[in-house]
């Protein structure tokens, strides 16, 4: 925890008895108190949701274009050739 962060932020939620029972049972299986179990569960769910929404999605046409460009790459532009020369000059890589 960094010097500037606080652990005293609280979140109050209402929870039905069925969910509370599930929470208590599950948290005992993984040997965590309810607070730690809730924090861990929220983090896991949040990471999964963020990953799903920030995932790049390609259409069938996008995939066709991608593989076509791999099979039939366009000729390098002057700008690409200049960048490759600059890269070789910086790194000393002669095979590129």
pLDDT in tens, 18-72: 999 999 999 999 999 999 999 999 999 999 999 999 999 999 999 999 999 999 9
Average pLDDT over residues 78-96: 87
Whole-structure pTM value: 0.56
Residue at 30 is within a domain: yes
The count of domains in the chain is: 1
- Do 56 and 63 touch, CB atoms closer than 8 A? no
Residue 61's domain comprises 14-90
Is 4 a member of any domain? Answer: no
Cα separations in angstroms, 52 against 57, 61, 83, 91: 10, 21, 34, 37
7 is a domain residue: no
């Amino acid at each position: 925890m960094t010097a500037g962060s606080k652990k005293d932020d609280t979140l109050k939620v209402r929870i039905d008895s069925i969910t509370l029972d599930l929470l208590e049972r599950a948290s005992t299986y993984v040997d965590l108190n309810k607070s730690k179990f809730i924090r861990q569960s929220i983090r896991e769910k949040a990471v999964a949701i963020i990953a799903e929404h920030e995932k790049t999605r390609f259409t069938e046409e996008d995939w066709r274009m991608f593989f076509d460009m791999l099979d039939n790459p366009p000729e390098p532009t002057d700008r690409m050739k200049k960048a490759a020369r600059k890269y070789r000059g910086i790194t000393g890589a002669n095979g590129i």
